[in-house]
Structures are given as structure tokens and as C-alpha cells.
Amino acid sequence: MDVLMIQLSSTGLESAVRDRSLLGLRTRPAVIGSRTTRIRFHRAPMRGRAAVLNAVCSSPAAVVEGLKKKRPSSGKSRDRARLFVGLPLDAVSDGSNVNHAKAIAAGLKALKLLGADGVEFPIWWGTVEKEAMGQYDWSGYIKLAEMVREAGLDLRISLCFHANGRSPAIPLPQWVSLIGESNPDIYFTDRAGIRYKECLSLSVDNLPVLNGKTPMQVYEEFIQSFKDSFSGFLDTTITDIMVGLGPNGELRYPSFAQSKSRKVGVGEFQCYDKHMLEHLKQHAQSSGNPMWGLSGPHDVPQCNQGPDANAFFKDSGGSWETPYGDFFLSWYSNQLLSHGDRLLSVASGVFADSSVNVSAKLPLMHSWYKTRSHPSELTSGFNNTAKKDGYEAFVDMFARHSCQMVLAGVNLSDEHQNQGSKSSPESLFSQIKEACKKHGVGVIGESSVSGEADQNGFERIRKKLQEVDTIMYQRMGAYFFSPEHWPLFTAFVRSLDRQQEMHADDLPTEGAGVVSSSAISEVERQSKMQVA
């Protein structure tokens, strides 16, 4: 991948380069100190790079004008979104070994020949720092990164501070789980007292509950150790870092953790560990309504029930519209916002001197979106209703930390949802995307495993290519390379328009960068590969 790094002593350029309409350049400005701005340009054509270099010594305006002159004549304002494919969740499970190594190597070669930009793999807190605080084993993940580099692909890393309760089972670090046995209030808790043990409650972010350290201190040390251990890959092979902010890596409460039913319910508020209740009590007292801080709402449905099963979420006359409802929902959402702000501040600080793109994930809680109260969003921590935009503050927070936003559901359609749940993934995706556009936050679209992996699903992804910076597609595995799926994916990738007008000096020399017919045949052969 062509990468240009420049450093200019002008703050004016930082805002100018956020206009991603210029040549399709995707940038992540990072302010170093108070005067200089480092900018990374992806796939800048040679003549475009020359224009930038010639203007470096003049002014930001000259830089921008130089870029504008190189706009493709085809009328396209940008190249297509980058395309990444996820590797298996358990590609590394014991810290030192790569699972399915031969199959993954073959898959990487197939993706490279097909024309994908890169792959993503998760790095699990419970795998790297498994036995004791501060004892890290990155060796297996380093081997995996070397495989990706050898394949000539870019790499997105997801730093996962949560566990995976489904198959494959990946727990939190053993030493954290031991602490949780004697101090269960480090976990999110619902009103029935059920603990969610796949990540730590945001209420303990700044409490020394982990052998004398706070979770924020432990997260920061983990991220710094990752940076030090992978320094040889950063800004070259590793182009993107996604920081996990909660359940499944998403910035949300685990409101549907206890759902066992196939019926779509409203979820449960997760504010019943003793530290959350103490925060609520203090907030109620400071607001002059101490009685409001005794507990969470008493008139909410159970997790698997619909919004009309009790009074709180009713569209007409529901408690969510009362002064108490506004008090509680604002507090609940602000607690989540503050957690995201703390962790993104840590991550963006660690990578401030790097050009990697830092991102984090927001969920698409689209059930009940067509109601006035939007209950599944409320229980997840987003105070988004027919009367209030609950995402604006979150997008603004991402913008302040120069972070991109990962949004799942690029392949979801309203018509394929449970009609009884008044769901609208398309409307919710558009709402959040428009807020990102307003604040200059880049969007990374992620396909949902619950979406249709058929021609219609791929067509929906294709329609969103001009709305996002990157597409993250599913995960490599047996189904991914199956005869039912791989040909569809191959046709989808081949259909993408990846060409920009290039000057003759920019064209590859004979034989360079050309995928031969025999190579294409090998891609087809890889469709038969099975990855466990």
C-alpha cells in the first residue's frame, strides 16, 4: 500500500485534510504538540504525492489545491472503501501458537489474489495477560502478524477487553476472574442480581479493584505493551487499531445478556452493581431528588418482554417521558459516554505518535426503532427517542479523539427483520452515519452475521461503499470458503471499481501487480478450502 507521511507546522491543514472528497484520500490527522500535524495518505498517486511535496514548504491552501488538481476525470470523488476480512476468533488461543495455520495461510493467499485490502484479527486480553497482571505473551499474535505481512495484506487489530461466551469460548484473564469471585461487583448486574461476567462494569473504571490498580491503568499498560511489542508492524502492516469498549467490543451495556428467548424484548438496565448504585445515589442527591437514586426504574418490562408489558416504555404516557425518566436515562447514557471517553483518551494517547487509524465500535440496536421510546437503545445506553437524538454526543466524542467509528449492519435490511419488533436497521444506520458526516468521523461498515449472505446482502453492502471508509466482512471459516458463499464473495469483490485515473509514470512495469489467469484459477481452487 502506498503511504505518504508528512509533517507540517500548520493547524490549518488539519481541518483541511478532513475533507475526504479530495482524491478519496483517507487521513487520520494526529496533532503532535501544538504546532505540527502528521498526516497519512492512503494510495496517493505518484503525481498527487509530488503535488503535496511541492507544496509542503508553502501553505496548506497550496497543498489542498494541489490535491484538487488531481481529482479523477471520471467524476468519482474517491476510491472505493477498503475491504477487510476477519480471521477466526480463536486464531490464537494459548498465546504462543497459531491455530489453523496452514488453512489461514492459504486463505490469506486467496484473499490477496482476489484483491482484498487486508484482514482483521482480535487480540484477547484473556489470552495475552492470562495468568498474572503485567505478564504478557504476544508470541502467537506476532507469528500471525508475520503471516499477514508475508501475504502482502494490511492488518486491522481489535484489542478485546471482553470475553467470548459463545463458541469458541475465550474467558477473561484468570487473575481477573479470581478477583471477581470475591468481589462480584466488578461486573455489570441487572435488577435480578444476575452478573454479566464477560467484561468489567464501567463503574469500576477508576477504582483500584485489580490488585491495587484501576481497570483504566491495566488497559493502558496492555495497550502500551501491544504497541511496544508490535512496533515493527505499526504504520506498515498494521494500519488500524480497534479498541474494545464493552460487551462484544462495543460501547454499550450488556442489556440483552440474559435473553434466552427467540422473542425480541426490550433488554434490561444494567445499573445494579453496588458502584453503579452509588453513582446513581450521588447524582440524585446533587440534582435535588434523592428519592430518585434509590434504584433503577421500577416499571420496566422484563428482558424478553415487549415495550407495552409495563409502563416505562409505552409510546403514550410512558415513564420515559416524565422528569424522572429523563433524569435516569440521561444519567445512564452519560455513564456510558464517560467510559468511552476515558478509554478512547487512553488509546489515542498511546498511539498519538503513530499514523495508525484508531477506531471503536458502536452497536446497531435497531429493534423497536419505529416506536417513540426506542427501548432497546435506551437499555443499551443510548438515550435516543422520538424526542431526542442520543448519538450526537457519542459521535462528537469520537471526533474529539480523532477516532473512526465501526458500525455493524451494512448488509441488513428492514424487510428481513422481525416485523413484530418494529425494527429498522437501515434508518438507525443512516441516523448515526449522518451524525458522523456532520462531525467528520470516518465510518467503518461491518457486515452482520445475522444478515443475508446472498446476492441481496452483497448488493446492500455495495450501495454503502460510498458512505464508509472501510468494509469489515464476516470472518474466515468453513462457511466463508464454502461453495455456497465463496463464489458470491468472489463476484462481489471483482465487481468493485478500484481504478483511478493514473498518469503513465504511475502505471506498473510489465508483470508488476498483474494477477494472471493461473493466479485467478488458484483463487477458485481456494474456494474448496475449509477452515475450522
**pLDDT (tens digit, 0 to 9) for every residue of the chain, 532 residues total?**
333 443 333 333 333 333 333 223 334 443 333 333 334 433 333 333 333 323 333 333 332 333 233 222 223 334 678 999 999 999 998 878 899 899 999 999 999 999 999 999 999 999 999 999 999 999 999 999 999 999 999 999 999 999 998 888 999 999 999 999 999 999 999 999 999 999 999 999 999 999 999 999 999 999 999 999 999 999 999 999 999 999 999 999 999 987 766 678 999 999 999 999 999 999 999 999 999 999 999 999 999 999 999 999 999 999 999 999 999 999 999 999 999 999 999 999 999 999 999 999 999 999 999 999 999 999 999 999 999 999 999 999 999 999 999 999 888 988 888 888 999 999 999 999 999 999 999 999 999 875 555 678 888 888 888 889 899 998 988 889 889 899 999 998 988 754 333 333 333 333 333 333 344 344 444 444 434 3
Confirm if 139 and 97 have CB atoms less than 8 A apart: no
Confirm if 104 and 151 have CB atoms less than 8 A apart: no
* Secondary element (H or E) of residue 376: helix 375-380
Rounded CA gap, 18 and 13, in Å? 9
Cα separation of the two ends of the chain: 30
Encoded amino acid at 311, one letter: A
Instruction: Count Cβ neighbours within 10 Å for each residue of 88-113 and write b for 16 or more, e otherwise.
Output: bbbbbbebeebbbeebbebbbbbbbb
Antiparallel, parallel or unpaired: β 3-8 and 36-42: antiparallel
Rounded CA gap, 188 and 297, in Å? 16
Nearest-10 crossing angle of helices 323-350, 215-229: 30
Rounded CA gap, 310 and 391, in Å? 26
Look up residue 465 and give its three cell numbers: 461503499
Look up residue 35 and give its three cell numbers: 504546532
Look up residue 4 and give its three cell numbers: 505518504
Confirm if 213 and 220 have CB atoms less than 8 A apart: no
The three-state secondary structure class of 437 is helix
* Residue carrying C-alpha cell 462531525: 439
* Residue carrying C-alpha cell 431526542: 388
Closest CA to 62 of 12, 4, 7, 3: 12
Rounded CA gap, 28 and 41, in Å? 9
Confirm if 382 and 395 have CB atoms less than 8 A apart: no
Rounded CA gap, 100 and 107, in Å? 10
Confirm if 149 and 237 have CB atoms less than 8 A apart: yes
**Neighbour tally for 348: CB within 10 Å:** 17
Positions annotated as catalytic residues are 250, 446
Look up residue 23 and give its three cell numbers: 482524491
User: Please, which residues have CB within 8 angstroms of residue 442's CB and are 6 or more apart in sequence?
Assistant: 20, 26, 28, 357, 359, 404, 405, 436, 468, 469, 470
